[in-house]
Amino acid sequence: MVQLSFVIPCYRSEHTILQVLNEIEQKMTERPEMEYEVITVNDNSPDQVLQVLTDYAETHSWLRVVDFTKNFGQHAAMMAGLSYAAGEHIVFLDDDFQCPMDKLWELLEPLNHGYDVSLAQYKFEDRKESFFRVAGSRFNDFMMCVLLDKPKHLRLTNFMAMQSFIAAELLQYKNPYPYIDGLLLRATRKIAEVPMQDRERLSGTSTYNLKKLISLFSNGFTAFSIIPLRLSTFVGVGSSILGFCWGLYLVIHKLMYPKLIDAGYSSLMAVMLFVGGMIMIMLGICGEYIGRIYICLNNSPQFVIRDTTHMTPENDARHRETR
C-alpha cells in the first residue's frame, strides 16, 4: 500500500525536474520501509519535459506521468495529480528544485500529531524570488486575509503535505479554475507551519507573470468570497452619500454667498467622473461573478488529460472515484 504520494506540476522544467526526482529518490532511501509514488503533471509545457519524464519513468517504477492537452494552470495540475494520488499522505512540491526536500520528514511530522495540513513556512524577506513575485505573494497574502478570512500568521506555500481525507475533500470541487489555497482554507484550519528556507532556482525564472497572477487572484477570490460584491454595495452607498453631501454643500454655499461661486461645470464633471468610475468598477466586479457562473454552467473542464504513463490499477481506481 502506498504511504506517500508526491505531486509535482511541471512547466518549463526540462533542466530541473531530474534533479528534483533524484533528490526524492535519495531522500526516500532513509525510510526503505515506506512505499511511495511520484505523480508528475505536464501542464502542456513547450519544452521537452514530457519526454524527459517518460524516459525517466521507463527505469523508475514509482514515477507516474500525466499529460495535459493544453495549459490549464498550476492549480489545475495540482488537482489532476491529486486525483491519481493513492498515498495516505500527499506532498506537493515545485519542479524548480527550490523546495527544501531535506526537510521532508519535518514537514510530515505534524500530520502524525493531529494536524490535517503541514506547510513550509518561508520568510518573504528571505525568498529566492524576484521582487515582482515576492510583492505578488505579499498582495495575495493580504487579500486572502481580507476576503478568505485567513489567519494573519498563516502563509500558504507550494511545499505542503496533507492527509488523504483532506485531498478527497479538495477533489469535491469540480468547477474550472480551482484555487488550492481557498479550497484548503474552506476544508480545515488545523494547519501547521514548519520553518525552513527555500533554495535558489537552478535555472530559468518564475513563469508567473502579471497576467497570470491577476487571473489567479481573480479566479480564487470570486470562487470563495462574496466580499467584493458587498464592498461594491458599500462603495455605491458611500458614493451616493458623498454626492448628496457635496450637492447640499453647494446649494447652501450658493444661498449664503451667491457671488463667490461662479457658474461652471468643473465641479459637476469631477462628481460625474468619480461616480462614473465607481459604477464601472462595480460593474466589472459583478461581471467577474457572472462570467464565473457562466463558465461553470457551461461545464468547462477543470483539465483534460491526453495520456498517462505507468499508472497502477490503484491510481486509476482513485481517479475514477474522484472524477
Q: Where are the domains of the chain?
A: 4-208+301-322, 227-297
Residue 13: what pLDDT? 94
Cβ atoms of 41 and 82 within 8 Å: the answer is no
Residue 205: what pLDDT? 61
The DSSP code for 214 is H
- Note if the pTM is more than 0.85: no
| Positions of the chain with pLDDT lower than 50, given as ranges | none
**In the numeric block, which cell numbers belong to residue 180?**
488550492
The strand pairing partners of 163, in sequence order, are 89
Pairing of strands 117-121, 191-195: parallel
> Within its chain, how far is the Cα of 268 from the centroid?
44
Residue 237: what pLDDT? 74
Residue 242: what pLDDT? 75
Handedness of CA 6, 82, 199, 63 (dihedral sign): positive
CA-based radius of gyration for the chain: 25
Could you tell me the CA-to-CA distances from 320 to 85, 258, 301, 314 in Å, in that order?
A: 12, 78, 16, 10
Residue 212: what pLDDT? 62
Residue 246: what pLDDT? 74
Question: Which listed CATH number (3.40.50.10540, 3.90.550.10, 3.30.70.270, 2.40.30.10) goes with 4-208+301-322?
Answer: 3.90.550.10
